[in-house]
Structure 1
Amino acid sequence: MDKCEYKKFYETVGNLNGWDFSKLQVLSDEPKWDFYDEVKRRAQTTDILLDIGTGGGEKILTIAPSLEFTVGIDLSHAMIQVAKENLKKSNLPNVRFLHMSSDKIEFPANFFDVVSSRHAPFNAKEVARVLKTDGLFLTQQVSEADKLNIKTAFKRGQSFSEKDGVSKERYVWELKKAGFSNVQSFENNVSEYYQRTEDLIFLLQHTPIIPNFGMEPEDYSRLTAFIESNRTEKGICTNSKRFLIIAKK
């Protein structure tokens, strides 16, 4: 899925369901890190933070009290509306949500102390431009081997034909080229257990894991076969593979 396809998918699905995955019943092994805990741990109370692809803003609102000021931007008009509604409920005075592309961040150079991006595209040059000297950029992204048994069962999927680790290496290279002096990367692969068939179907309908899920005649027979082959006492098993990059300007 290229950037244009991602933008179209993201805006469409955001308008349809608000990206609300909160009701899914999923068990997971303990990951090595929690992304926004990492952001909070590495930021200072005097820092100004930019969150790229902020969605409904729920995660940023939980850590905003420990920061001087926070800005969340997102491609989806619908998600920014949701984020603004969540902000009203929170009564936090130090947060703003804006509709904005990560390819053109409408802030001055050297404005932010920390920039974060979770599961969202980013432009390394723009991130470097708006970060102060010695500023930090943290991003968590989905690895090519994520949900590998699902994509194998459907014989297609997001990054299915790509070698695992390619996107991580590309991001690291782009960040170094943009001027980041210290770029570290980490990987995490854990098992996930979807408790109900409807939880798995929701995931496939509302993410790009299997492009156009349900549109091919064989999709539901493949889904049935996958569930039967991967059902365990804990639930329907797949994997969640992520990588974390921490870069210092």
Structure 2
Amino acid sequence: MCAYVLVAEDDPKQAELVRRYLVREEHSVLVVADGRAAIDEVRRTRPDLLVLDVMMPKVDGMDVCRVLRREYDLPVLMVTARVGADDKLLGFDLGADDYLTKPYDPRELMARVRSLLRRAQRPTAPRIGDLVLDPIRHEVRVGERRVLCTPAEFRLLATLVAAPDQVFSRGQLVEQAFGLDGHITERTIDVHVRNLRKKIEADPREPEYLRTVYGIGYKITDGRRLGG
């Protein structure tokens, strides 16, 4: 299951360790270093899971959990060096879904992450390599980079990603992505493709994802997997 995980951890070494393990399981990850940033990022991007350290600057993890639980039904895995039973009970009372004490085995952390994501049962975001579409948030990510797309660009990209490596003519893309919208023409498809390449490709002139099939149309593929 590919998910977008927000990690709130002020210890750079610990944050990087968690990030590496999450990326290894093909999750998209964003790391923030204080509680205020964690609240702001959850409100802005609505992650699938929050890995939350308790002892953080600006706003501690307990208060972060208290604030967010009033606003969102978000799975929260609380991580802390506090080992007292009262701290653990307080974390659960504030809305944490799971609680892990430091030091911990990263494999146990990942097992708990997988369990929380299964329980959340949110739809898996379509993915091609590092390109991820989230239909719930209407959001596109390339690796850890968030890409801002127009509604028309998102619909076109979603149509292509739903059928990896399938070649679509411009007419098929007009029909399947936009239906009876008379403002979208085959010429418009070319404009949207050009704009999408600027946003999702490292080099729009040598696209890895959004490929032209000359004489026919376009397809989406993981060009790096195919060796370019």
TM-score (norm 2): 0.29
Question: Which is strand-richer, 1 or 2?
Answer: 1
TM-score, normalised by the number of residues in structure 1: 0.27
Larger Cα Rg: Structure 1 or Structure 2? 2
Which has the bigger relative contact order, CA under 8 A and spacing at least 6?
1
